Amino acid sequence: MDLSDFIVRKCPATAMYIPNFITSEEEQRILSHVERTPKPKWTQLLNRRLINYGGVPHPNGMLAEEIPQWLQMYVDKINNLGLFETQKANHVLVNEYRAGQGIMPHTDGPLFYPLIMTISCGSHTVLQFSKRENRETSAECNDGESSANREVLFKLILEPRSLLILKDELYSEYLHSIDEVESDVLCDRICNYENCETTYKMGDSLLRGTRISLTIRNVPKTTKMKLKFF
């Protein structure tokens, strides 16, 4: 796959957007597995819930756990793109966003190889970007800083079954967030229309459903002990 064909050229370096990275059948299998996940596996936050697979990232190192096979196949598909260079993805963050839920501006931070890859399932969303100011912290569980008075510079629409890749300046110098709204009005600040599967009309309003996102990453610092996942 020549990834240069998927570069979003109307935003700072570097975003790549691949529509239909997975099939409808694969999407339904993912949604089915996530739906059957036992409640104790979830971490409930104020505005969404999440699951860590592969371990829980920590500044002292992640105690590596085995990723279940139904999910590992998508990790392998990501690794086959070769963007982690000599590294391999070893962590998946599953987020569930219901209509009206979102996440405040944040970066993924220094615990990860500076690359984000996210598969969207079930519903679209719109990811917003603002410039990082001085010191910002990562936000896996505390959702970072207030969005008040923070200018949104550009947006990306993420369709179901798509893959979004963020690296370079977009990883280190910009915050990304999702507004807590039940629908998205399409505007000229969305800069990946030409990369999308669907042809959209400016001013249209898209209702959100429940979205499951798989954010697949590499945690460079891990402990040697492996815990088998059951």
Which DSSP string corresponds to 160-194? TT-EEEEETHHHHTEEEEE---SEEE--TTB--GG
Confidence of residue 225 (pLDDT cuts 50, 70, 90): low
pLDDT in tens, 28-56: 999 999 999 999 999 999 999 999 999 99
* Alpha helix (H) residue ranges in the chain: 24-35, 69-79, 169-172
* Residue 226 forms part of a structural domain: no
Residue 137: pLDDT above 50? no
Q: Are 57 and 90 in contact (CB under 8 A)?
A: no
Q: Are strands 174-178 and 103-106 parallel, antiparallel or unpaired?
A: antiparallel
| 69-79 helix and 24-35 helix, angle to the nearest 10 degrees | 140
Domain span at residue 96 reads 4-135+145-220
Q: Report phi then psi at 58, rounded to 5.
A: -150, 145
How many domains is the chain built from? 1
* Residue 17 forms part of a structural domain: yes
* Residue 10 forms part of a structural domain: yes
**The Cα angle at residue 198 between residues 193 and 199, in degrees rounded to 5:** 65
* Residue 128 forms part of a structural domain: yes
Count of Cβ atoms closer than 10 Å to residue 119 Cβ:
25
Q: What is the DSSP-derived secondary structure letter of residue 42?
A: -
* Residue 228 forms part of a structural domain: no
* Residue 212 forms part of a structural domain: yes
* Residue 140 forms part of a structural domain: no
Confidence of residue 223 (pLDDT cuts 50, 70, 90): confident
Any idea what the CATH number is for the domain that residue 199 is in?
2.60.120.590
* Residue 229 forms part of a structural domain: no
Give the whole-angstrom CA distance, residue 35 versus residue 8.
Answer: 32
pLDDT in tens, 41-97: 999 999 999 999 999 999 989 999 999 999 999 999 999 999 998 999 999 999 999
Q: Half-sphere exposure of residue 157, counting CA atoms within 13 Å on the CB side?
A: 29
Confidence of residue 170 (pLDDT cuts 50, 70, 90): very high
